[in-house]
């Protein structure tokens, strides 16, 4: 395990992500995501996240997940701390 403390992010957690906090983000947009899975091995300060960005807490895409990206650990921590 790296020096970063493991983040436990329950499925269904809402993450408000600013454009610079996730990648790939070719359009440079903010994103609201409901998590399905957060992988626990950081790469360069980012964690892989799978989730839904398709509807407000009620996925309407009929898929297990429809959004995937690398998210800054600091952004995840900010969301879990309730500062977003």
| Whole-prediction pTM | 0.85
> The tokens of 8 are what?
């436990």
Residue 9 domain-assigned (yes or no): no
Residue 34 domain-assigned (yes or no): yes
The Cα 76–Cα 20 span in angstroms is 13
Residue 63 domain-assigned (yes or no): yes
By residue range, what is the domain housing residue 30? 14-80
Residue 5 domain-assigned (yes or no): no
Residue 7 domain-assigned (yes or no): no
The tally of domains found in the chain comes to 1
Count of beta carbons in the 10 Å neighbourhood of residue 2 = 9
Q: Any idea how long the chain is? A: 84
What is the pLDDT at residue 56?
63
What is the pLDDT at residue 43?
86
Residue 54 domain-assigned (yes or no): yes
Q: Are 68 and 48 in contact (CB under 8 A)?
A: yes
Q: Are 57 and 42 in contact (CB under 8 A)?
A: no
Residue 76 domain-assigned (yes or no): yes
pLDDT digits (tens, 9 = 90+) for 25-38: 999 999 999 999 99
pLDDT digits (tens, 9 = 90+) for 44-63: 999 999 999 877 667 677 78
The Cα 11–Cα 26 span in angstroms is 26
């Amino acid at each position: 395990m790296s020096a970063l403390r493991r983040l436990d992010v329950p499925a269904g957690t809402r993450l408000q992500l600013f454009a610079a906090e996730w990648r790939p983000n070719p359009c440079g947009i903010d994103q609201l995501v409901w998590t399905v899975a957060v992988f626990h091995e950081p790469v360069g300060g980012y964690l892989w996240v799978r989730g839904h960005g398709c509807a407000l807490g009620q996925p309407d895409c009929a898929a297990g997940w429809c959004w995937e990206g690398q998210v800054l650990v600091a952004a995840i921590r900010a969301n879990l701390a309730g500062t977003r």
